[in-house]
Structure formats: structure tokens, C-alpha cells
Amino acid sequence: MSVPTDTMGDVSDSSLTDLPAADRPDVAARLRDALLGASFTADGLLDLLGAPAYAALARSETVPALRATRGDTPLEMLVRLFLLQQPVPHARVADVLPVDACLETGWLVRVGGDELAATVDVRPYGGLDGEDWFIVSDLGCAVGGAGGIGSREEGVVLGVGGASTTLAGITVRTPVASALDLGTGSGIQALHAGRHATRVTATDVNPRALHITALTLALSGAPAADLRQGSLFEPVRDDERFDLIVSNPPFVISPGARLTYRDGGMSGDDLCRTLVQQAGERLNEGGFAQFLANWQHVEGEDWQDRLRSWVPRGCDAWIVQREVQDVTQYAELWLRDAGDHRDDPAEYQARYDAWLEEFEARKVRAVGFGWITLRRTAAAEPSVTVEEWPHAVEQPLGDTVRAHFERLDYLREHDDAALLEAHFRLVREIVQEQVGLPGAEDPEHVVLRQHRGMRRATAVDTVGAGFAGVCDGTLSAGRILDAIAQLMGEDPVLLRDRTPSQIRLLVEQGFLEPAD
């Protein structure tokens, strides 16, 4: 039934025979048309199920969705078939789908009596520009974790999770010639990359994932990708370089490799470190590599230093820690994700204990989760920023990430004297907040807050607040400071001397933008 493409390497057909054929784009196209015709789209699904049932699916709870699809419309039938693993009468399916072609190519199978079942999950997924796409995954894995409603087979391929959409949202989406999606899984990152990269290469250590990626792309009407099997950068030729590398890797720090989609099989956070360290030499100049990662907080070590040491030579880096969990929270999160809490209590306790034992042996006290972005640069002194920002952000952030690195270039090219000559503009939708005792004449703190992108907030002094307020691109920074000095009765030379570092920070964090 399944026919892996040549580029997938040494893949045995037998391991994939339960999947639909990947070499029948004609059938995938017909199936796609039929699904769209029945409004089996992200919007259609939300309309049908309603927000609570839709959200419950993401928590692996299917009861609300089953209740919402008891009717007989084509859309209800498709949700039961492709998302809820329910058998559906042959005649009902034949009204909506090209049933013979789907049976022939293995999208559907006969299950007792006169009923048909899907062989994979198919989840409607809306692209960033409103595209109607479909993500294929293993049965029971379109929503929630593998332990939710799905399988716990080692090579199971999951659908879209929160991490998948986070990475898709932070990825820089400028048009490029070549993109690499490392650890492609269901193919979601490759699907996004196909919108702005001429060539997309997708790799995975799991042949099942490559097969499923081919199905996701075909069913979404997206260009095929160059699919290659292998670990980390093994499938990439020595002389190959990319403009964009993305990876939502198996970042979970766990005792032993149980589930390929999440356990990297290397000790501690070594897989993420290796990925980051090896990405630099695979990038074209100016190219971005963007990863989600987990990292250890080790007793007696500064977590920021640990991450700085991962950054390869010749790369600027922006690393954002979004969350930190202590080792107990972390072990529980992933035990639950795999459904281990539903097992025999003694087995659950043994697994939990093994996890803590491993952390203790490594002196790991907590685990950080976040985003790592590298940009290949020819600059003599690359810039590495490692910061913590656990607050809400506005996705998609791709443009914000690109702008961060553009501002770095600007600041690198402007010393303090040049900054004072430059003109700046306050970025749109920034507000000033004042905090202090009610009735007090002067605020204790003045905070500038962004309402877009990273939604940063930064405390400024009176000069910083006044300066930002006046920045409309008309006067140079130096002239504004001279005026502020006069108003405040300060020495203008001293003010010009001490303020550039504050201007630098406001530019770096995206509160001010160069007007020229």
C-alpha cells in the first residue's frame, strides 16, 4: 500500500504498510477537494464543535466532540471518521469522498460489516495567511499528546501541538531559496516553509514521519519536499547550506529514549546542545536557525552561561527562556503527556522515581523551556542575548524576530557619538504607565509598555520617558537631550554622556526605531 520515495533512504515498506500511499498525489488532491467541499476546515470545525468542545479536543477529551457530531451532515461524518476514529457506514462515506480511490490507496479501510475507518488522523489546520491545510498523523494523535487518545508506540507520529504552532509562529518568514525542517514529524513546519522557501528539505530519524510528511504536503496541496531519513544533520551533505533551519526537536530531558517524537535519546540536554552547535556551519550568511529547546538548570551553574556556551562561532543569537519548571513538575508533565498516570500505580511511581534519580545524578534542579534563534553573521563580534521573558506575547512573532536582528546590526554600526546624531521614532502602540502612591507628585516608576510583538515592558527614568515621548524623527537624539537638559537644569554634556546606554536599550528592545 505504501511506497516511500527514493530520497527517504533505506526504508522498509513493511513498517509503513498501515499508512496511505505517499505516491498518489492524484488521490490526495481528490480527497482534498472533497474535504474542502464539506467545509472540513479549521473554521468549519470550530463552527461545528463550538469553542469548548474544540478546546477539549486539545486536552485529549473527545466526549464533547462526539456529542457535537451525532448528526448526519457530511462535516459531522468527516470529524467522526478523521478526528474521532469512529467507523462510518460505507454509503455515507461514498456520498462525500472518492471512496474507491481512498480504499485503493489506503486512506480508508473496511472494518467489519459495511463500515469504513480512517487509517490516519487528518486535522484541518489554518495557515498564517488563511490557507486551508491538513495535518496527517497517526491514529488518535491529531489532538492532545500520544498518551491521550492515541498510541504509545515508540515511532508514533503526532499531529500539531502547542510547541508546533509556537515554532511556526516565531519563524522568520522572509522569502528564501532553501529551508531545512529537522525532525519534521507530521510535516507542519515544512508545510509553512513551503510558502516562502523555493526548496524545502525535511528530515527525520523516523521513516514513518517522512511518509506522513509526504501525505500532509500532498493533502494540503503544497509542493513536495526533499525528504531524507537520518539523525540530526546526518542527512545533510557537507557542502549544503540553508537560508532557514527550523526544528522542534525531541527536546524532552528524560531517563531513556522511549518515544521518538519527544525523547532525543541523548543524555540530559545534549540533543538540543548538539543541534544548536552544529547548525551554525549549515547556514548561509544572514540565514536563520530557529529551535525550541529544553535546557538544564544545574546546581552551581548560571543557566545563561550554559546557553551562551552552546552558540556556535559566527552566529548572533537571541535566546528567550519562556518557562522554568522544577524537576518534579517537569517529570509529572511528561509522565502525564505519555498517559503514564493511567498505568498501574506502582509502574507510574517507578517511572517517576527513575526520572528524579536521573536529575539528581546530574545535579539538575530545574528545566528551562524556550526559543533559540541563531543568525549567521560576518560581524567580528557576534551578539548573544540570553534573557527570560515568561509573559504573554503576540504571535506570530516572525517579523519581531527579524526586526530584533536588524536592530542589532544598527546598534553594532552606531557608536555612542553616532547614536546622538541619529533620529528616532517611538514605535507605534507604546504606552507609558506610572506607578506610585495615590496623590504623590512624582511617580516611583515610569514604565514603557509595548502592546504588540513581545509585549515588553521596561522601566525608564524621567529623562528616558521624556526622550521617548519626543521622538518623532524630527530632532536628532543629541538635540532632544540638550532640550531636556535645559528644562531640567542639568549639564547637557553630562546628559549626552550618560544617556546613550538607555537609548541603546530602548532601540534594542524595540521601543524606539531609527527614523532614517
Interface with ligand SAM by CB under 6 A: which residues?
Answer: 164, 167, 182-186, 188-189, 203-206, 209, 231-232, 248-250, 260-262, 264
Q: 154 or 353: whose CB is closer to ligand SAM?
A: 154
Residue with Cβ nearer ligand SAM (184 or 377): 184
The answer to whether 152 and 340 are in contact (CB under 8 A) is no
Nearest-10 crossing angle of helices 500-508, 398-413: 150
Minimum distance between the CB of residue 475 and ligand SAM, rounded to whole angstroms?
47
Measured from the CB atom, the residue of 68 and 236 that comes closer to ligand SAM is: 236
Least distance in Å: CB of 253 to ligand SAM? 13
CB of 369 to ligand SAM, least distance (A): 13
Q: How far is the CB of 231 from ligand SAM (least distance, A)?
A: 4
> b/e for 278-296, b at 16 or more Cβ within 10 A?
bbbebbeeebbbbbbbbbb
Q: Residues near 232 by Cβ (< 8 Å), separated by ≥ 6?
A: 182, 271, 274, 275, 278
- CB closer to ligand SAM out of 105 and 164: 164
CB of 182 to ligand SAM, least distance (A): 6
Which grid coordinates are listed for 432?
507609558
- Give the nearest distance from C-beta 309 to ligand SAM in angstroms: 21
Shortest Cβ 357–ligand SAM spacing (Å): 23
Q: Are strands 512-514 and 423-426 parallel, antiparallel or unpaired?
A: antiparallel
Cell representation of residue 337: 503527556
Nearest by Cα to 172 from 195, 138, 139:
195
Smaller CB distance to ligand SAM: residue 264 or 466? Answer: 264
Grid cell locating 407: 536592530
Give least dist CB 432 to ligand SAM, A. 39
The CB-of-248 to ligand SAM minimum distance in angstroms stands at 3
Which one, 260 or 400, has the nearer CB to ligand SAM? 260
C-beta closer to ligand SAM: residue 211 or 351: 211
Q: Which residue has the cell 498501574?
A: 344
Q: Which is nearer to ligand SAM, 20 or 161 (CB)?
A: 161
Between 88 and 180, whose beta carbon lies closer to ligand SAM?
A: 180
SS3 317: strand
d(CA 254, CA 366): 13
- Is-contact 121 137, C-beta < 8 A? yes
Rounded to 10°, the helix 462-470/477-488 angle is 130
3-class secondary structure, 472: strand
Comparison of 105 and 220: residue with beta carbon closer to ligand SAM? 220
Q: Dihedral angle at the C-alpha atoms of 345, 346, 348, 351, nearest 10 degrees?
A: 170
- With contact defined as beta carbons under 8 Å apart, do 272 and 294 qualify? yes
Rounded to a whole number of angstroms, the minimum distance from the CB of residue 247 to ligand SAM is 7
Separation between Cα atoms, residue 90 and residue 317, nearest integer Å = 55
Say how far apart CA 52 and CA 63 lie, in whole Å. Answer: 11
- The residue number whose beta carbon is nearest to ligand SAM equals 185
The cell for 13 is 515498506
